[in-house]
């Protein structure tokens, strides 16, 4: 029986794409680089902020410029990470329902941990028991280190946990950690892509998540 449900953040519980796109383009414009559409940025995210900036910048940018753009993005995004960001419809209800059924609830994200904590306080007060994000010494997903940390803090085994996310990075994170995995259709990639990456449990809408969790042994 499952005891712990671990969620990805961006594209799974929060639609953060508008704020990430706006912040990215603000910094790119500041440095005179080409801007990107929201559909382009959708495929830049998932592997952490440094990888987002690497994908957004031209391939010939030198390290000094990259470091400046990255630092400016982090500073700007921390101030504007909640301008347009909102939970996906129905997400708060099913997370509350899982909690009411006695599940521990956690977040494992490649977003800077301090920002993830603040977003959870803003949009999901008192719903998450453990939040693990990007910080010094913590390898980004799909490395399983964040999941291992959560399992240890929750005092549960990998067999008692399920990882839920919207991308191939999330699928691989769960596989690497040895947990069951549920993909979600409403995020940045969609069901067809997730199936192509080997996903077998896919929630087409938020209310499906609880049904899938309950039937996983």
Would you say the pTM of this structure is higher than 0.85?
A: yes
Write down the pLDDT at residue 112: 87
Cα separation of 45 and 117, whole Å?
19
For residue 169, report the phi and psi dihedrals to the nearest 5 degrees. Answer: -60, -40
Domain spanning 4-15+86-215 has what CATH number? 3.40.50.1000
Cα separation of 52 and 158, whole Å?
29
Cα separation of 174 and 180, whole Å?
6
pLDDT tens for the chain, 217 residues long, are 899 999 999 999 999 999 999 999 999 999 999 999 999 999 999 888 999 999 999 999 999 999 999 999 999 998 998 899 999 999 999 999 999 999 999 999 999 899 899 999 999 999 999 999 999 999 999 999 999 999 999 999 999 999 999 999 999 999 999 999 999 999 999 999 999 999 999 999 999 998 999 898 6
Domain spanning 17-80 has what CATH number? 1.10.150.240
Do the domains spanning 4-15+86-215 and 17-80 agree at the CATH topology level? no
Helical spans, DSSP H, in 58-190: 63-80, 91-100, 113-123, 145-154, 168-177
Domain locations along the chain: 4-15+86-215, 17-80
For residue 125, report the phi and psi dihedrals to the nearest 5 degrees. Answer: -60, 130
């Amino acid at each position: 029986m499952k005891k712990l449900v671990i969620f990805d953040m961006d594209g799974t519980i929060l639609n953060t794409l508008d704020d990430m796109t706006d912040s990215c383009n603000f910094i790119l414009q500041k440095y005179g680089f080409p801007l990107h559409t929201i559909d382009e940025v959708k495929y830049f995210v998932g592997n952490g902020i440094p990888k987002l900036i690497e994908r957004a910048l031209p391939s010939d940018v030198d390290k000094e410029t990259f470091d400046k753009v990255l630092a400016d993005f982090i500073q700007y995004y921390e101030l504007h990470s909640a301008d347009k960001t909102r939970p996906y419809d129905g997400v708060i209800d099913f997370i509350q329902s899982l909690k009411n059924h006695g599940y521990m609830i956690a977040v494992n994200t490649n977003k800077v941990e301090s920002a993830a904590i603040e977003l959870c306080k803003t949009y999901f007060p008192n719903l998450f028991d453990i939040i693990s994000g990007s910080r010094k010494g913590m390898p980004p997903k799909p490395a399983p280190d964040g999941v291992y940390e959560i399992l240890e803090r929750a005092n549960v085994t990998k067999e008692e946990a399920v990882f839920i996310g919207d991308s191939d990075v999330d699928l691989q994170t769960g596989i690497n950690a040895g947990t069951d995995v549920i993909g979600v259709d409403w995020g940045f990639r969609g069901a067809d892509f997730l199936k192509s990456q080997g996903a077998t449990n896919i929630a087409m809408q938020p209310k499906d998540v609880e049904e899938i969790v309950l039937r996983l042994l």
